[in-house]
Amino acid sequence: MNVNDDMRRLNDETMPRSYQRRLQRRRRRQRRRTLRRRLNRLTDTSFSIIPMENQDSFGELKLPKLIQDDEQDSKGTIIQHSDWGLVERVKQALGIKLFEKLQQSFLGRVIEIASKIGDIKFSGKIFHFLMQRRLKTKGSTLWFVVDSQPIRFSLREFFLTTGIQCQAVDRDLQRKGKDLVKEQYFWTQGGQFTLSQIQNRLFRKVEDGEEEIEDEEKFCLGAVVLTEGILLTLSCQEKIPADRLEHASDFDMYTAQSWGKEAYVVLSSCIQKMNKKTWLKGAYDVKGFPIAITVWALSAVPVLGAAFGKRSNTSNSDYPLIFNWESTTAPSFSALVNFVKRMNNVEAKTIIGDENSLMTLP
């Protein structure tokens, strides 16, 4: 305790009791306001965490309502469409040298993640478990509750989990002095082409007498197939929106876009539409890149990671989170629910990592 603290305590003790009580109440209110400001800085505009008026700490939180307002867990089957087999097919279509150029773009991270798929599994049950514990909030940021504790999944958590490019790269730097594309490929125009049609153009064998597809177009086709087929598209028969193919005729421009952010927006928008009617279907589709949520959950709720994952001993960095795991398992839904119920005072990390050190995404 310093001199200022000693003087303040002495002054407090020599004051009338009535004034001391008023001063104590004022300081409690100041502490509550300080706690509120600190917590709200950690959240976003989707909601505010507000300490209850009779609390000097934030042990009890006033949270938004759950999407599912009862505590009954219902089973569900998740249909997700990330086709990891496309990586090998694109590699065979491009050849080793051309594929290496693809790896030098943001897709290198996607290809690196693909090498772990099999050991790292998408768990539809963990995903469904979290969906039934989602809070009703506004905006693209998602909030869930595990054992009465809120945990956040935002664009920041998506990036920390996957490492996939979430900000556009300097386009002039990416272009490297190249001229603007004068003519677009026919399949990039009008938003009339499905992923299946674009795959057919890249993968089909050239018949005798047909002209070979040029390398530049192969680069672009390969980039679109991996981006749409793994990160974004619901199914091969869904037409790709025109704005997502705007730069697809220029490989450097296309791969300079913030496709990680787009994948997060697609995933978040899909989840925001889910409600109790979704669970009644028994099976439901998920757009985007849902494995990011199930891997993030293992770190946000450490007991889940300890039970359903095995940490890697070779990872040299804390992030991306997905490379911190050597393998994960996919538990049954009943085993998952019963496991959480048996645990007392489950630790949950509301926001992973150091918030101040990552104010903007790399």
Residue 293's DSSP bridge partners are none
The predicted model gives 314-331 an average pLDDT of 89
Residue 321, C-beta contacts closer than 8 angstroms, at least 6 positions apart = 160, 161, 295, 296, 298, 299, 352
Is 38's pLDDT higher than 70? no
Length of the chain (residues): 362
Rounded-to-integer distance, Cα 334 and Cα 194, Å: 38
Phi, psi of 269 (to 5 degrees): -60, -40
Rounded-to-integer distance, Cα 349 and Cα 351, Å: 5
Q: Where are the domains of the chain?
A: 3-62, 77-358
Q: How confident is the model at residue 14 (pLDDT cuts 50, 70, 90)?
A: low
Give the predicted TM-score (pTM) of the model: 0.80
Q: How confident is the model at residue 7 (pLDDT cuts 50, 70, 90)?
A: very low
Identify whether the C-beta of residue 64 lies closer than 8 Å to the C-beta of residue 135.
yes
The predicted model gives 125-148 an average pLDDT of 90
Closest CA to 312 of 299, 330, 297, 331: 299
Interval 50-88: pLDDT, tens: 333 333 444 455 777 888 765 556 778 888 999 999 999
Say what the pLDDT of residue 70 is: 59
Helices 215-226, 96-103: inter-axial angle, 10-degree rounding: 50
Tell me the pairing of strands 142-146 and 149-153.
antiparallel
CA quadruple 110, 294, 157, 342: dihedral, nearest 10? -160
